Amino acid sequence: MVFQAQKTRYQSMHYRRSGESGLKLPAISLGLWHNFGDTTLLENSRQLLQRAFECGITHFDLANNYGPPPGSAERNFGRILAEDFLPYRDELIISTKAGYTMWEGPYGDWGSRKYLIASLDQSLKRMGLEYVDIFYHHRPDPQTPLQETMKALDHVVRQGKALYIGLSNYPAEMAREAFRILNDLGTPCLIHQPKYSMFERAPEEGLLDALRENGVGCIPFSPLAGGQLTDRYLHGIPPDSRAASASRFLNPEQITDDKLSQVRQLNALAESRGQKLSQMALAWILRHDTVTSVLIGASKTAQIDDAVGMLANQHFTAQELATIETILAQPL
């Protein structure tokens, strides 16, 4: 059956301007980091994308190395795009990135002009696109001059292969310098993608200020701390969880008794607000004016529904924010 999106898809989503640009993003964006590679059934990936779009999520975030194997998330997304979403292409914001290892040899990693331009060409081919809406440099390269990396990003915009430029995982001072170079080149940075959650607060140490001062949006990833800020670990480590499988993104050593105590206290506060813990954690990030959108992952459509349901209660009282700070300040 041909996919036809619900006409009500824009009624409940909130859209926020990215920095000082003209682009608005949905408050919730869907990341394809997990559950879109070849190890996931294509139909499950399709259902996630369809449900997200019907909820007003117009932004799908990828990278060249998402899978597994690397490249497969883009390829599978391209197939679903061609079969289901081509009539809606102009309603979508599609982003991809380059910066981690993608192919063998000295030109398949980091931030050289050679790698970035070649990688984007490969990404466009896998997805069947003429351009992406946002192209990110995925991480800083300590050996390539920042000027070279930024000029490569400016170049792909001038080629028409990307509409906007983003950065990811850049520390505050390097981000400031990158913004300056891009402004001088005439291609301002649209958005920055850091790791940020109640349990990972490094962006508060200068990065959020740098983004605000330079008119750059923010779209945090891992807002639920690998599932820690959900109800998954309230009663210990489930056998089918990331922590149980010793994932490189979350291991059992991180789920200490003290951390579980924090999670339970945060969950109690969320329940008093009439929310799930995951919903409160997303709302806590979106309380910042600098944050344009928050990236979620999903393996079930119900997780998308939960995230979007958060939009009904984003307000925090001063007392609730103080309680969260008290809980997070407890020694681990």
Token pair 């996931």 is found at: 40
How far is CA 152 from each of CA 144, 193, 245, rounded to the nearest angstrom?
Answer: 12, 19, 39
What are the tens digits of pLDDT across the range 154-198?
Answer: 999 999 999 999 999 999 999 999 999 999 999 999 999 999 999
Strand partners, 284: none
Residue 245 to residue 283: CA distance in whole angstroms: 29
Please identify every stretch of the chain with a pLDDT value under 70, giving residue numbers as ranges. 236-253
Domains of the chain: 15-225+287-300 (3.20.20.100)
Please tell me the predicted confidence (pLDDT) of residue 67: 97
* CB 80 within 8 Å of CB 92: no
Return the bridge partners of 162, or none: 132
Tell me what pLDDT residue 118 has: 98
Separation between Cα atoms, residue 228 and residue 238, nearest integer Å: 12
Contacts of 124 (CB under 8 A, 6+ apart): 130, 131, 132, 161
Radius of gyration of the chain (CA): 19
pLDDT of residue 1: 76
Q: What's residue 254's pLDDT? A: 73
Could you report the per-residue pLDDT of 236-256, keeping only the tens digit for each? 666 655 555 555 556 666 778
- β-pair partners for 26: 15
Give the per-residue pLDDT at 298: 97
First to last CA, the chain: 52
> Strand order of the sheet with strand 189-193?
217-218, 189-193, 162-168, 132-137, 93-98, 59-61, 28-31, 294-296
Name all contacts of 234-237 with Cβ < 8 Å and 24+ positions apart.
234/260, 234/263, 234/264, 234/267, 236/260
SS3 letters across the chain: CCCCCCCCCCCCCCEEECCCCCCEEECEEEECCCCCCCCCCHHHHHHHHHHHHHCCCCEEECCCCCCCCCCHHHHHHHHHHHHHHHHHHHHCEEEEEECCCCCCCCCCCCCCHHHHHHHHHHHHHHHCCCCEEEEEECCCCCCCCHHHHHHHHHHHHHHCCEEEEEEECCCHHHHHHHHHHHHHHCCCEEEEECECECCECHHHCCHHHHHHHHCCEECCECCCHHHCCCHHHCCCCCCCCCCCCCECCECHHHCCHHHHHHHHHHHHHHHHCCCCHHHHHHHHHHCCCCECCEEECCCCHHHHHHHHHHHHCCCCCHHHHHHHHHHHCCCC
**Dihedral through CA 308, CA 15, CA 23, CA 55, nearest 10?**
40
- Whole-number pLDDT of residue 234: 86
How much is the pLDDT for 252? 65
